[in-house]
């Protein structure tokens, strides 16, 4: 799973050295907060890193309903590896290379068939891709993750005098000064800018 920050960046932000015996715990929080940010944004923010070799673990199949049109809206992705179309029930799947991605540069949000249509059906279009809005972690998402994990560390450290404490997702965060509180508000605003709204 892609992690949106590192223990080193969190230590730099907090102006502390994270104890090596605590790093596994912090790493777990980084992973959990990274997934929480995806959920808050209602989308996968950053694609898995591209692997090497024939079995690239960053590529994943997703299925979509064919709509009987040349255009098919898909989830955000940074690379499409394979497209296959089945019949109305998703059976008799056949790969096609007769498609374009739109836009041509990531994030890709649509497929366009050059000839023909995506047969109407239920979960009958399979797309193998690297799913996510970005190929690499943007600095603002990295910062948001760093700030929130720092808040989790503060909330978990005995004797820390927090001036504000609250829950975010499954986590309790705490901040010890006005700058920390302002940064936490900024982190929430960053994620709001990436939120995908379902209409």
pLDDT digits (tens, 9 = 90+) for 91-111: 999 999 999 999 988 899 999
pTM of the model: 0.91
Range of 36's domain? Answer: 7-43+137-193
- Burial string for 104-128 (b: 16+ CB within 10 Å, else e) reads eebbbeebebeeeebeebeebbbbb
Q: In the listed set 131, 149, 170, which residue is the last one of a domain according to the structure?
A: 131
Average pLDDT, the chain: 94
Number of domains in the chain: 2
The answer on 141 and 111 residing in a single domain is: no
CA separation for the pair 68, 76 (Å, rounded): 21
Decide if 55 is inside a domain: no
- 50 part of a folded domain: no
Does residue 31 sit within a domain?
yes
pLDDT at residue number 150: 97
In contact, 36 and 169? CB cutoff 8 Å: yes
56 three-state secondary structure: coil
Q: Are residues 124 and 144 in the same domain?
A: no
Domain boundary among 112, 131, 150: 131
Q: Is residue 2 part of a domain?
A: no
């Amino acid at each position: 799973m892609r992690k949106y920050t590192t223990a080193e960046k969190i230590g730099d932000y907090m102006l502390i050295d994270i104890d090596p015996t605590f790093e596994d715990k912090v790493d777990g929080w980084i992973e959990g907060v990274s997934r929480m940010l995806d959920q808050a944004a209602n989308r996968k923010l950053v694609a898995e890193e591209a692997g090497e070799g024939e079995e690239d673990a960053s590529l994943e199949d997703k299925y979509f309903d064919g709509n009987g049109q040349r255009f098919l809206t898909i989830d955000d992705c940074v690379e499409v590896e394979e497209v296959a179309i089945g019949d109305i029930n998703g059976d008799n799947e056949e790969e096609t290379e007769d498609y374009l991605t739109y836009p041509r540069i990531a994030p890709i949000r649509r497929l366009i068939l050059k000839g023909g249509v995506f047969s109407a059906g239920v979960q009958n279009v399979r797309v193998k891709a690297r799913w996510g809005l970005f190929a690499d972690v943007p600095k603002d998402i990295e910062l948001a993750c760093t700030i929130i994990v720092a808040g989790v560390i503060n909330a978990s450290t005995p004797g820390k005098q927090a001036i504000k404490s609250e829950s975010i997702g499954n986590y309790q965060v705490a901040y010890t000064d006005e700058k920390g509180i302002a940064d936490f508000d900024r982190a929430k605003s960053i994620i709001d800018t990436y939120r995908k709204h379902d209409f």
